[in-house]
Structure 1
Amino acid sequence: MASTPAPTPTQRNAGIDLVRVLMTMLVILHHSAIVYGGSGGWFWRQEPNASNPLLVMFNAVNQSYFMGLFFLLAGYYTPASFDRKGAGRYLADRWIRLGLPLLAFFFVLFPLTVEIADATGGADLLRRWGQGIVGGTHGPGPLWFALALLIFAHAYALLRWAGAFPANGRTAAALPRPRTLLPAMIGIGMVAFVVRLVIPVGHEVLWLQLGFFPLYILLFVTGIAAAPHRLLERIPLRAAVPWLAVAILAVVTLPIMIMLHGVGGGFEGGWNGNALYYALWEPFVATGVILTLFAWAATPARRSGPVGRWFAANAFGAFVVHAPVLVALSRWAATLPYTPWVKFVGVSAAACIGAFVVAAALRAIPGVRRVL
């Protein structure tokens, strides 16, 4: 596939910043959808799990690509960071930028979110939060992503030391052709199918849903390979459109498969047709959506003004703090006499704004900007 010329190494990509912001907001909408009848695990829900077919579809499509896109970007920025800092400083930086937010959420924000979700009144919230920090339930929540990236960072450093990822090793100079992408998508789908025979979707090992990780690992490695020639910033729209069409066709088949759920077996995993379909469905949707997003981001019109830079600077912080913000807003909205759809729209918008504002306030504290 043809590509546009590579940007200069120091040029900041406003389009990728915008994609990061949009994906962070999509994470918030994804969890808000779970509250109002989508599918998945969350701290608190108003409607029963998977009770709203449209929100179930929304969550399924999101899951196919949005966290994978974050892993792709993480891999994309890894080689340059490692080469610039060296192994020691690179890993130390990962522990500051990922480990500290992970620990903060694990021991502080997770108990806060649990107490907000369980609260019948707010008068003693601080007392119960303190009790939760000391002796309550803890976990990474959405910061499982930071935990996974820490593991990936250490694996990358080890492989670089072993020579598996040499600094001047083979990299992708151009986008792969369809005859390469197609078997890769089928292959990773089959790997996911096999993994889910043992660890179905929804089952966690050390807080990680390993059933999704074959695609995450592939995308992280793909980002590493694409980094030297900055291929994610050079994807032409004409190369992405055919794969977007494939993704749309795949999405159209999902409602049919959901209606036939009882016939084909569980999507989560197992030796059945639905599990095979879902494992193959994900990489086809992910490829089309991810390529299209980066092609859209690569257009010359993408420029970053003050508002865009503010959102980009606070995106990771918003990701870290969005759980208690969203749970607090959805618990408050439960008292309002509106339909779940109205609440989903209103709470999602308010949670997006609130998470970014809280992140910006935290980053104004001396020293926090180094972490968030």
Structure 2
Amino acid sequence: MASTPAPAPTQRNAGIDLVRVLMTMLVILHDTAIVYGGSGGWFWRQEPNASNPLLVMFNAVNQSYFMGLFFLLAGYYTPASFDRKGGGRYLADRWIRLGLPLLAFFFVLFPLTVAIADATGWEDLLRRWGQGIVGGTHGPGPLWFALALLIFAHAYALLRRAGAFPPGGRTAAALPRPWTLLLAMIGIGLVAFAVRLVIPVGHEVLWLQLGYFPGYILLFLAGIAAAPHRLLERIALRTALPWLAVAVLAIATLPVVIVVHGAAGGFEGGWNGNALYYALWEPFVATGVILKLFAWATVPARRLGPLGRWCAANAFGAFIVHPPVVVALSRGAATMPAAPWVKFVGVSAAACIGAFVVAAALRAIPGVRRVL
């Protein structure tokens, strides 16, 4: 596959920073869509689950690639971080950057979000929040991603110590050939189908939906392999466009399959045609969208202005704090006389702004910037 020349080893890619910002905003839109009839689990809803076909489609397409892209980037930056810090410092840094936010969400922000969803006023909110911290239900929320990355980081460190990832070994100097990529997409879809026979989508093991993890693991490993030659920053547009066309065609089949084969079994898993279709559909969509995003991001002229740099600095913090922001705004909009899709647009925009502002305020606290 064609690719552009490798960037300088120390050059930071503004386009990739911009992709991280856009994907963080997409996470916020994704969760807001659940409030108004999309599909998935969330803290509070105005409309029934999966009651809006357009938002269900929106969530399905997002799910096919956006978290996988985060895992790809995490793998991409792992070897350099490990080489620079060494195994002990690398793992210690992972616990600071991932473990502390995970604990903060688990014990503080999760009870806060639940309290916002259920409270009838400020006093009730504070009471419920306090009770939730002390003895309520806790969970990682979207920080399941941090939990997974901690597991991946420890696995990488162990395998690196065992010699499975020698410096300069098992790396990709060029993108896979089309047939190799196609076989990988089919293979990972079949593995996901097999996993979902046992653990369907929507079922969690230690807060992790393992039905999605075959793709996440593959993309994390792909990021590691691509890192030494900065391969994600060399994807040419002419390479990405055919795969984007495949992704668009795959997306177009989803509503047809839902309508025509709606009674052929659950998409979430099981020995049926719908589950097999969905497991294969995801990598075909993800490959085209991810390649196109990196081809767009790594245009040499791509730059970040002051606002873009501010957003990039606060993206991880916005990812962490967005659940209470989304729930507070959507509950506040519940009594407004507007159609659900209008509220989705308005609340999504306000939540994106609010989450980034809250993250920036937290990062202004001494010591917090070391974590966020």
Partner of 2:206: 206
State which drifts further: 125-134 or 137-146.
125-134
Which deviations, in whole Å up to 9, do the C-alpha atoms of 1:213-261 show, x marking residues without a partner? 0000000000000000001011000000000000000000000111134
Please list the CA deviations of residues 27-48 of structure 1 after superposition, one character each: whole Å capped at 9, or x if unmatched: 0000000000000000001000
CA deviation profile, 1:140-175 (whole Å, cap 9, x unmatched): 000000000000000000000111111221210011
Given that 2:119 and 2:128 are in contact with CA atoms closer than 8 Å, whether structure 1 keeps it comes out as: no
Q: Which amino acid aligns with 1:353?
A: I
Distance in 1 of aligned mates of 2:357 and 2:79: 32
User: What's the counterpart of residue 231 of structure 2?
Assistant: 231
Number of residue-to-residue matches in the alignment: 372
For normalisation by structure 2, the TM-score amounts to 0.99
Q: In the alignment, what sits opposite 2:186?
A: 186
- Aligned equivalents of 1:251, 1:44: Cα separation in 2: 28
Q: Once superposed, what is the RMSD of the aligned Cα atoms?
A: 0.7
Deviations 1:115-139 (A, max 9, x none): 0001122233122211110001100
Q: Given the alignment of the two structures, is residue 111 of structure 1 paired with residue 106 of structure 2, yes or no? A: no
Alpha-carbon shift at residue 335 of structure 1 (Å): 1.4
2:6 & 2:274 partners in 1: Cα distance?
41
Q: Which residue of 2 aligns with 1:171?
A: 171
Does the Cα contact within 8 Å between 2:2 and 2:238 map onto a contact in 1? no
Name the CA distance, whole Å, in 2 between partners of 1:162 and 1:129: 45
Deviates more, 1:277-286 or 1:2-11: 2-11
Aligned partner of residue 263 in structure 1, secondary structure: coil
Distance 2:261 2:63 in 1: 18
* Deviations 1:33-77 (CA, angstroms, capped at 9, x unpaired): 000000000000100000000000000000000000000000000
Structure 2: runs of 5 or more not aligned: none
Matched residues in 1 for 2:336 and 2:86: separation? 54
- Deviation digits for residues 275-322 of structure 1 (CA, Å, limit 9, x no counterpart): 000000000000000000000001122101111100000000000000
Moved more, 4-13 or 197-206: 4-13
Gaps of 5+ in 1: none
- 1:253 matched residue in structure 2: 253
Equivalent residue, structure 2, for 1:162? 162
275-284 or 117-126: which moved more? 117-126
Q: Which amino acid aligns with 2:63?
A: Q
2:94 — aligned with what?
Answer: 94
Q: Residue 36 of structure 2 contacts residue 52 of structure 2 at CA under 8 Å; is this kept in 1? A: yes
Question: For 1:47-62, what aligned pairs fall within 5 Å after superposition?
Answer: 47-62=47-62
Q: Which amino acid aligns with 1:42?
A: W
Matched AA of 1:61: V
Q: Which amino acid aligns with 1:288?
A: G
Q: How many Å apart are 1:177 and its aligned residue?
A: 1.1
Kindly report structure 1 stretches of 4+ aligned residues shifted beyond 4 Å.
none
Whole-Å Cα distance in 2 between the matches of residues 259 and 266 of structure 1? 13
State the partner residue of 1:68. 68
Q: Deviations for 1:2-48, whole angstroms, at most 9, x for unmatched residues? A: 21111111111000000000000000000000000000000001000
Letter in 2 for 1:103: L
Give the corresponding residue for 1:334.
334
* Larger deviation, residues 353-362 vs 128-137: 128-137
Q: Provide the residue aligned with 1:243 in structure 2.
A: 243
Q: Distance in 2 between matches of 1:320 and 1:111?
A: 14
Cα 1:3–1:262 shift into 2, 3 Å: closer
Distance 1:96 1:290 in 2: 29
Which amino acid in structure 1 is aligned with residue 142 of structure 2? P
Give the TM-score taking structure 1 as reference length.
Answer: 0.99
Counterpart of 1:212, as a letter, is: Y
Q: State the alpha-carbon separation in 2 of the partners of residues 286 and 125 from structure 1.
A: 40
Instruction: Find the aligned partners of 1:121 and 1:250 in 2 and give their Cα distance.
Output: 46
Question: Counterpart of 2:273?
Answer: 273
1:30 has 2:30 as partner: yes
| 1:251 counterpart letter in structure 2 | I
Q: Which residue of 1 aligns with 2:134?
A: 134
Give the distance between the partners of 1:78 and 1:40, measured in 2 at CA: 30
Matched, 1:317 2:317: yes
Q: Distance in 1 between matches of 2:251 and 2:2?
A: 27
Give the Cα separation in 1 of the matches to 2:51 and 2:260: 16
Q: SS in structure 1 opposite 2:200?
A: coil
Give the counterpart letter for 2:45 in structure 1: R
The aligned amino acid for 1:290 is I
